[in-house]
Amino acid sequence: TLFCSMQRLSEIMEKGEYLRIQVEGGGCSGFQYKFSVDCNKNEEDRVFEQAGVGIIVDQESLEFVKGSTVDFSQELIRSTFQVLKNPQADHGCSCGSSFSVKL
């Protein structure tokens, strides 16, 4: 299960668009989150929808973010979606874009 700030998603997404979350190797902690806007759902994707907006996560990435909270963060230097409270993460970097997994 993923929890997300759906209000911000509904403000910026067009009909048929989804926020895609992917986890890739890299970043300063070993793995990094990648966010993009996608109109295409693949067969292996898991879709989390509410109030007409949604998030897409591929099966491989889902193993790294299941149980997480996704929120929109607005700061002086940037505005971005972030994965918070990730129970699969051991620790993350100070900017919140990368993490290491629990062994």
Q: What integer is the mean pLDDT of 12-22?
A: 88
- Predicted confidence (pLDDT) per residue in 26-40, tens digit: 877 789 999 999 999
Q: Which helix (H) or strand (E) holds 9?
A: helix 6-12
- Predicted confidence (pLDDT) per residue in 41-78, tens digit: 999 999 988 777 889 999 999 999 999 888 877 777 77
- Number of neighbours of residue 32 by Cβ within 10 angstroms: 17
- Number of neighbours of residue 24 by Cβ within 10 angstroms: 13
Q: Is the pLDDT of residue 4 over 80?
A: no
**pTM for the full predicted model:** 0.80
pLDDT score at 57 = 95
